[in-house]
Amino acid sequence: MKTLTRPTLAAIFLALAIPALAIPLSPGPALAQAKAEPLKLGRNQGGTQTLPILAINEKFFQKEGLDVELVMFLGTSDGINALNVGKIDVGLSFGTGSPLTFAAEGAPIVIIAGNLAGGHPIITKPENAAKYKSVQDFKGKTVGTPRLYTADVVFRGAVHRAGLIPGKDFELIEFRRTIDVLEAVKSGKVDVGVGSSSITAGAIEAGLAIPLWSNDLFAYHPCCRIITTREVLAKRRPDLVKLIVGLLQAEREFVKDPEAGVKANMADLKIDETLSRTLTLDPHIQLAVDPNSKGVVTMWNYMKESKYITSDADPRSFIDASLYKEALDDLRKREPNEPYWAQLEKRFQEWN
């Protein structure tokens, strides 16, 4: 059985032509007078970014004196390339595997916080759903996976630990985009597909089944790390801390009022309430701003096992959790009696 491949990210990294659609957000009067330089936030098309959108809707960034501008990309590689050449300041939703690969190849990427944990569907046709209850059930199947996406890294780590070998125990077909995986499952080209959060809505609308989630293979695995470059970190650290403060407030707001997240995604993704409720409130989709350094290190180790990276660098050198800690400490000082901030402090100590 044969594993299909595609060009390495090192080659993609050389591409400087990056299609993007900037969506500026109008600052309030005070910010307009100050003419603050906006923090440009890159995001992937189709994926849910509940916390950033909720923070914008609730004006949490504006209240911190931070002007932000959203920039949309059609794919992860385009977004990271844009970050590397200074077209954006922050990446919100470019996964974990791809940023780590670029960093291993020398890109000055730094993980400063999180956005989403888990939430990637493993999809198949409804009549086949009962066949997939654990990772062992991939044996003998044809599996489609989006190379180097977070869910792909999680999947490969899980099958490695289960003692399964791609090309021997199952056929593995690699795709460049998760939408291609979706189409391959729909057409019957593959038996089962490793998806991403960006295709969950499309899979549901297509009538496909989701028998497993990435969380079932690696509990609380990090995804959609919030990334920047060392240059931006040096120049705009206070703004990056404000960004995290706003996101933390959005996280608390979502915990208090999940319906606010449902409404935010309805407007942002232009979907109906039923689908937005499914995407936003599914327990497999875990929203957390914590950088989860330990989880990132585990992902790095999975990638080394899969031969995606050969670097001997310390993965923690690509993580700076101090900005998150500074933002959380700031909120605890402002609201010392808020129990949610104490919960997040405990989680930070466990995850980092």
CATH code 3.40.190.10 region(s) in the chain: 9-115+224-351, 121-217
The number of beta carbons lying within 10 Å of the beta carbon of residue 277 is: 17
What is d(CA 67, CA 49) in angstroms, rounded to the nearest whole number?
18
Predicted confidence (pLDDT) per residue in 301-330, tens digit: 999 998 899 999 999 999 999 999 999 999
Question: For every one of its 352 residues, what pLDDT tens digit does the chain have, with 9 covering 90 and above?
Answer: 333 333 333 333 333 333 333 334 444 444 344 457 999 999 987 666 899 999 999 999 999 999 999 999 987 889 999 999 999 999 998 889 889 999 999 999 999 999 988 889 999 999 999 999 999 999 999 999 998 888 999 999 999 999 999 999 999 999 988 899 999 999 999 999 999 887 888 899 899 999 999 999 998 899 899 999 999 999 999 999 999 999 999 999 999 999 999 999 999 888 889 888 888 898 888 899 999 999 999 999 999 998 899 999 999 999 999 999 999 999 999 999 999 999 999 999 999 9
How many Å from the N-terminal Cα to the C-terminal Cα in the chain? Answer: 40
On whether the CB atoms of residues 81 and 94 are closer than 8 A, the answer is no
Of 123, 87, 54, 83, nearest to 225 (Cα)? 83
pLDDT of 28: 47
Pick the CATH number of 121-217 from 3.40.5.90, 3.40.190.10, 3.30.300.30, 3.20.20.60: 3.40.190.10
pLDDT of 21: 36
Predicted confidence (pLDDT) per residue in 153-191, tens digit: 999 999 999 999 999 999 999 998 889 999 999 999 999
On whether the CB atoms of residues 306 and 156 are closer than 8 A, the answer is yes
pLDDT of 27: 47
pLDDT of 79: 93
pLDDT of 159: 94
Say what the pTM is.
0.83
Q: Which two tokens stand for residue 133?
A: 């209850």
What is d(CA 12, CA 84) in angstroms, rounded to the nearest whole number?
12
Fold classification of 9-115+224-351 (topology level): D-Maltodextrin-Binding Protein; domain 2 (3.40.190)
On whether the CB atoms of residues 185 and 144 are closer than 8 A, the answer is yes
